[in-house]
Structure 1
Amino acid sequence: MFCGNMFTDKVVLITGASSGIGAETALEFAKLNASLVITGRNQENLSKIANQCEDNSPAKHKPLVVVADMTNENDVKRIIDETIKKFQKLDVLVNNAGVLESGTIETTSLAQYDRVMNMNVRSPYHLTTLAVPYLLQTKGNIVNVSSVTGLRSFPNVLAYCMSKSALDQFTRCVALELAPKGVRVNAVNPGVITTGLHKKGEGSMNDEQYEAFIKKCAETHALGRPGDAKEVASVIIFLASEGASNITGATLPVDGGRHAMCPR
């Protein structure tokens, strides 16, 4: 689908790249010869992904690895500083880092609300403000990784739903602000993706619950299954590419049709 050198000379920054959608997206961009900056909290995982990216890259580009906590303001600033120091520019920002936690209006603590909103909304807001001056120079673009929970309402993931809805509105507003300056901003909205995200974080599932949850995806997704990270990565790459040159402010479901469904 994508030509092997389509991101040659393009610098792509991906947050949350040590696992799941972020890691898969890094590997796919590497195949297209992008110069990558990958960030996350897990040094070991990031190093592993960096080596795989180098193997995937036609020009054997080794990614710049920045170990960083997206909720730490100094770390966020350091991501941009190190990117520009090494590459002198930025073409694509993929705001992927995020956290999923369960809880209802009766059980969500303020601490949990703050954790989820800080990670899923404040962090990409902050990183984007720092990245925009460089994206304006390259007429680059931004892809935010949201969720079907930004488009539709679900019980028992209240703070998460609110955070992804905010990220979708952020996507649209920033798209309108930067469109006159030639910078596009879009989001992907995955449904359930088999990354194991649901087994991390506060109120997470155990192995048995996760297995039952994945099984239930046959009913909750029109295509009868959950998605995988590569299916999301390919849409992120499309939105970041020239193929999407007339798309901005879009929140694109990659969810097996879940956003279109109503219980019957």
Structure 2
Amino acid sequence: MSGSYVVTGGGRGIGRAVAERLVAAGGTVVAIEQDPASLAWTKGHPAQGRLIGLAGDAADDRVAERAADAAEAAAPLAGWVNNAAVFRDASVHSSTARRVLELIASNLEVALIGCATAVRRFLAAGSPGAIVNVSSHQARQAVPGALPYVTAKAAIEGMTRALAVEYGPCGIRVNAVAPGSVRTERYADHLAAQGPEAAARIEEQMAAVHPLGRVADAHEVASAITYLLSPEAGFITGATVPVDGGRTVLAHDPEARRYA
């Protein structure tokens, strides 16, 4: 895959897996990550010349523009992946509506800024391009207690469809992927904090809610994202592709947290 790509939240988990796949396929990647330490792996990478780590907040227009500049300086911008997310829960019985809206915005804003930056760059270059937004199974299968995240991810899927319709005539494709649970650093840290017995119970629960009997590997989600960025997916736009091992089909979730 030639050209350059921007991946937000590219320092770890799904974002890192996407960056590694794109670089391995011949692309140049600018990985945005808020935590500079999470970009340390990019410095010793064999393809270091085509892998650029950018520390900053992907929800900051200036950071997004710097990433686009760095990508276009290396090769024509071909794709943008909005993977960065904020995981903070709130419920309307215990938080103000204003606080809930702020948390919704924290997840929606980063994807919107990425989409807007990519669309403007594609239009200015007069070239086609692809955007992939990372949603979640929770956009369709809500988990009690996770209102801000669920709402933001549902909005991101709506935004994906709206942008696909508006900019499809310009050759810009916009899609989303909706993972289930994924074995990332965050997932591993969560298990480690529970203790061995509790971690084992969580693993059993996760196996039970995914018909394939396990959580995903980050590279399995990344493979779907890189496919949607590729020419092979040239007639796919406005779609949300579930990469959840059948979790939303089964529609049973022991992670649910009820307020009473």
Band the TM-score falls in, shorter-chain normalisation: 0.7 to 0.9
Q: Secondary structure at the match of 1:65?
A: strand
CA contact (8 A) 2:80 2:114 kept: no
**The one of 27, 34, 55 aligned to 1:41:** 34
What's 2:180 paired with? 191
By how many angstroms is 1:195 displaced?
A: 1.1
By how many angstroms is 1:72 displaced?
A: 3.0
1:245 and 1:124, CA in 2 relative to 1: closer, same or farther beyond 3 A? Answer: same
CA contact (8 A) 2:100 2:148 kept: yes
Are residues 1:229 and 2:218 paired?
Answer: yes
Q: Secondary structure at the match of 1:207?
A: coil
1:219 and 1:48, CA in 2 relative to 1: closer, same or farther beyond 3 A? Answer: same
What's 2:258 paired with? none
What's 1:4 paired with? none
Matched residues in 2 for 1:185 and 1:198: separation?
28
What's 1:101 paired with? 88
Matched residues in 1 for 2:252 and 2:4: separation?
43
Are residues 1:74 and 2:62 paired?
Answer: yes
What's 1:216 paired with? 205
Matched residues in 2 for 1:111 and 1:25: separation?
34
By how many angstroms is 1:206 displaced?
A: 3.4
Matched residues in 2 for 1:177 and 1:200: separation?
40
Structure number having the greater strand percentage:
2
What's 1:87 paired with? 74
What's 2:7 paired with? 14
1:200 and 1:168, CA in 2 relative to 1: closer, same or farther beyond 3 A? Answer: farther
CA contact (8 A) 1:50 1:62 kept: no
The amino acid that maps onto 2:26 is N
The gaps in structure 2 that reach 5 residues or longer are 254-260
The amino acid that maps onto 2:59 is T
Are residues 1:30 and 2:17 paired?
Answer: no
- TM-score, normalised to structure 2, is 0.86
What's 1:116 paired with? 103
Deviations 1:162-199 (A, max 9, x none): 01000000111101111111111000100000114358
CA contact (8 A) 1:27 1:49 kept: no
Matched residues in 1 for 2:12 and 2:100: separation?
23
Q: Secondary structure at the match of 1:138?
A: coil
The gaps in structure 1 that reach 5 residues or longer are 1-6
CA contact (8 A) 1:23 1:49 kept: no
Are residues 1:246 and 2:241 paired?
Answer: no
By how many angstroms is 1:222 displaced?
A: 1.1
Aligned-residue identity in percent: 29
Are residues 1:63 and 2:51 paired?
Answer: yes
1:166 and 1:210, CA in 2 relative to 1: closer, same or farther beyond 3 A? Answer: farther
1:199 and 1:116, CA in 2 relative to 1: closer, same or farther beyond 3 A? Answer: farther
Aligned length: 249
RMSD: 2.5
The amino acid that maps onto 1:255 is D
1:50 and 1:150, CA in 2 relative to 1: closer, same or farther beyond 3 A? Answer: farther
By how many angstroms is 1:150 displaced?
A: 1.2
